[in-house]
Amino acid sequence: MPVEFYDVKNRKKVALQDSQISKTSYSSTTKSGAVRTRYAFRGKLSDGRNVTKFCKKTDWDAMNVPVE
């Protein structure tokens, strides 16, 4: 299932296949002490640059790609 990323340098959308995608999560602590977790897909473009797309946890769980 291809995922569509936005290439900031070339200002266009790019679709990457599962073999070029990994998933990761970012955790941070808010001022009140709560832990906030954001989920994202990370892709590698043909010229070596990385692209990131934030997503919902349900989409993150459904995707069968390696965790970074």
Query: Could you read off the pLDDT of 24-48 as tens digits, one per residue?
Result: 999 999 999 999 999 999 999 999 9
Supply the pTM of this predicted model.
0.88
Domain residue spans in the chain? Answer: 3-62
Average pLDDT, the chain: 95
Which stretches within 1-68 are classed as H helix?
Answer: 57-62
User: What is the rounded distance in angstroms from the CA atom of residue 68 to the CA atom of residue 51?
Assistant: 14
User: What is the rounded distance in angstroms from the CA atom of residue 13 to the CA atom of residue 47?
Assistant: 15
User: What is the rounded distance in angstroms from the CA atom of residue 23 to the CA atom of residue 63?
Assistant: 8
User: What is the rounded distance in angstroms from the CA atom of residue 2 to the CA atom of residue 30?
Assistant: 33
